[in-house]
């Protein structure tokens, strides 16, 4: 069995796509699925008026607004490998969801808009990858439109995030006049040479036509554009910007490709590169820092919880990253946090909102457990030798709002909906003695999380509600004694967080922290670090 587990794990490639909003993340997710022959045509379309066919954006609010609000999992086979692709929200307001997804992957694709280069949210997400030692492949998207100079983009990446781009392909033609790419380097380190010419497929929903040209053919057909591309490619070789697997795995370099996901230029090369160089699953460390070997008994952790994904599945799905061993549907597993035994009879694999029953899974795979009551985000499950993986972070909230329901006759449904969204991590739900149980306070990284909460309460639970924004901008953790002392303190509010029993103090600004510390000597006020536990 151990040799089978190792062989199956070696076939897995589990990665996430990260980017700033509007860089084309959901589009490239669709294009990768199309190249993997997992879908017949891409759902991404010109503009954002119609996203009903986009596999990874299944939520109605995502389709209406043209943005990714929640992460999605897609699994398909390509070549001799199993690809587990996780699409993530690009908007900063949903950073917590993206961070959780990055705990469940072995590699990441950093997507850049060719006209904008590095943007703030991309920088933040890359820092998460660096902290978690996740190797990153860069795809410079939208090269079929006006863009920055290619060499300038590489320089910006190296200067701003301290990682050296090593282009595997190089564009022939400036942004907006994209003919194709020079294949600079084969994965084995040999010079690839030649050019791949792209021709857009009618409608943009199917694979682009490609043609491989020799150097002489490319020079004859594309003249000055090809000559310039060759000169720049040779210059990159002189400055030691060629692909090196060791520096990539160490996180010092990022293999880089150029393309246009909307018209499927360069996406097939990206998928091939992921198969060739992205790491397969490895032994993950438990809370004590000891690795759980792949060949050990089954183990995994919950990195996401999602309910009501579509009208046909009004249930809750716990997304499990398989870390070791073989998962078999129906097996009895133990929840590390409560030592409770549970069955896995209802296990599914996901493709966006679509699901299929899964009989077995291996390290690197994502499994959905249906209605696994009692499982929370960050929980570990295992069979055999006990293990517990490190908890997932709760981000420091920066926005607070009191949630008001409109129809008190729906109070029971309201409480159920709030509990569900809290369990999923859509928002943090807090309660205070000042407002009572009927008026929970939502704490969020960004205000869009409030809009998602209101929309889902209405659509999924038929409970109209509104948010009254509160004047608090940050929070601190205190203890039970501190919570009691600060109950009547002016300008602050004390909350309890049911999910973990923590006491939080909400404050309007950092200066109020200093006055509280002065007025209440010995008071406990610990920070909630972004990306860290309370």
Question: Taking every pair of C-alpha atoms in the chain, what is the biggest distance, in angstroms?
Answer: 81
- Tokens, residue 96: 């917590």
Query: Which two tokens mark 471?
Result: 């004047």
169 is in an annotated binding site: no
Q: 439 labelled as ligand-binding?
A: no
**Length reported for the chain:** 534
DSSP letter string, 51-118: -TT-SS--SHHHHHHTS--S-EEEEEEETTEEEEEEE---SGGGHHHHHHHHTT-SEEEEEEETTTBS
Pairwise CA distance, residues 119 & 135, whole Å: 19
- Report the DSSP beta bridge partners of residue 301: 321, 380
How far apart CA 207 and CA 394 sit, in angstroms, is: 40
Strand stretches in 209-252, DSSP E: 209-213
The token duo for 166 is 């090593």
Spatial neighbors of 299 by CB under 8 A, at least 6 apart, are 292, 322, 323, 324, 325, 380, 381, 382, 383, 387, 389
Q: How many CB atoms sit inside 10 A of residue 436's CB?
A: 9
Helix or strand (DSSP H, E) at 226: helix 215-238
Distance between the two ends of the chain, CA-based, in angstroms? 40
Residue 208: count of CB within 10 angstroms of its CB: 21
Beta strand spans in 373-416 (E): 380-382, 399-405
Structure tokens at 274: 């992921």
Q: Which of 518, 205, 231, 500 is nearest to 379 (CA)?
A: 500
Distances (CA, A) of 387 to 4, 158, 286, 457: 22, 39, 7, 36
Helices (H) and strands (E) in the chain, counts: 13, 31
Sign (positive or negative) of CA dihedral 448, 453, 459, 465: negative
Q: Rounded to the nearest 5 degrees, what angle is found at the Cα of 507, between the Cα atoms of 503 and 513? A: 95
Give the Cα separation of 142 and 24 in Å (integer). 8
- The torsion defined by the Cα of 27, 32, 35 and 36, in degrees rounded to 10, comes to -140
**Cβ proximity of 446 and 94 under 8 Å:** yes
Tell whether residue 87 is among the known ligand binding residues. yes
Q: Which residues are known binding-site members? A: 87-91
Q: Which residues are known binding-site members for GTP? A: 87-91
């Amino acid at each position: 069995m151990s040799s089978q587990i190792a062989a199956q794990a070696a076939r897995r490639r589990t990665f996430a796509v990260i980017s700033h909003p509007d860089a084309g993340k959901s589009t490239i997710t669709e294009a990768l699925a199309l190249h993997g022959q997992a879908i017949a045509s891409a759902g991404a379309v010109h503009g954002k008026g119609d996203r009903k066919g986009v596999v990874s954006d299944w939520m109605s609010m995502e389709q209406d607004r043209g943005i990714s609000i929640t992460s999605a999992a897609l699994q398909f086979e390509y070549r001799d490998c199993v690809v587990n692709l996780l699409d993530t929200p690009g908007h900063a307001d949903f950073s917590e969801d993206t961070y959780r997804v990055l705990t469940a992957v072995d590699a990441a694709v950093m997507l850049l808009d060719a006209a904008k280069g590095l943007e703030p949210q991309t920088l933040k997400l890359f820092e998460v990858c660096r902290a978690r030692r996740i190797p990153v492949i860069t795809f410079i998207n939208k090269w079929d439109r006006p863009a920055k100079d290619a060499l300038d983009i590489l320089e910006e990446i190296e200067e701003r995030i301290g990682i050296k781009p090593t282009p595997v392909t190089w564009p022939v033609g400036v942004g907006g006049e994209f003919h194709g790419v020079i294949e600079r380097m084969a994965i084995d380190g040999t010079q690839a040479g030649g050019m791949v010419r792209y021709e857009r497929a009618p409608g943009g929903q199917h694979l682009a036509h490609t043609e491989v040209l020799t150097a002489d053919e490319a020079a004859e057909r594309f003249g000055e554009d090809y000559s310039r591309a060759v000169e720049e490619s040779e210059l990159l070789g002189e400055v030691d910007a060629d692909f090196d697997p060791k520096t990539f795995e160490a996180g010092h370099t990022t293999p880089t490709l150029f393309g246009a996901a909307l018209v499927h230029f360069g996406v097939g090369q990206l998928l091939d590169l992921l198969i060739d160089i992205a790491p397969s699953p490895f032994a993950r460390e438990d809370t004590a820092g000891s690795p759980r070997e792949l060949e050990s008994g089954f183990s995994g952790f919950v990195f996401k919880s999602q309910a009501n994904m579509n009208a046909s599945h009004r249930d809750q799905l716990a997304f499990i990253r398989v870390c070791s061993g073989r998962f078999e549907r129906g097996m009895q597993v133990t929840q590390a946090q409560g030592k409770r035994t549970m069955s896995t009879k209802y296990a599914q694999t996901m493709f966006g909102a679509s699901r299929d029953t899964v009989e077995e899974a291996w390290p690197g795979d994502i499994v959905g457990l249906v209605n696994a009551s009692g499982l929370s985000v960050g929980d570990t499950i295992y069979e055999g030798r006990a293990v517990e993986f490190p908890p997932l972070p709760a981000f420091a909230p920066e926005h607070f709002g009191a949630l008001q329901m409109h129809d008190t006759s729906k109070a029971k449904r309201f409480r159920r909906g709030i509990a569900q969204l809290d369990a999923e991590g859509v928002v943090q739900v807090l309660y205070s003695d000042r407002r009572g149980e009927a008026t929970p306070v939502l704490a969020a990284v960004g205000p869009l999380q409030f809009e998602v909460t209101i929309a889902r309460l209405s659509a999924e639970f038929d409970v109209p509600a509104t948010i009254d924004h509160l004047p608090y901008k940050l929070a601190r953790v205190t203890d039970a004694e501190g919570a009691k002392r600060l109950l009547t303190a002016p300008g602050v509010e004390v909350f309890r967080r049911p999910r973990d029993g923590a006491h939080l103090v909400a404050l309007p600004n950092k200066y109020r922290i200093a006055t509280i510390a002065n007025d209440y000597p010995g008071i406990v006020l610990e920070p909630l670090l972004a990306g860290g536990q309370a």
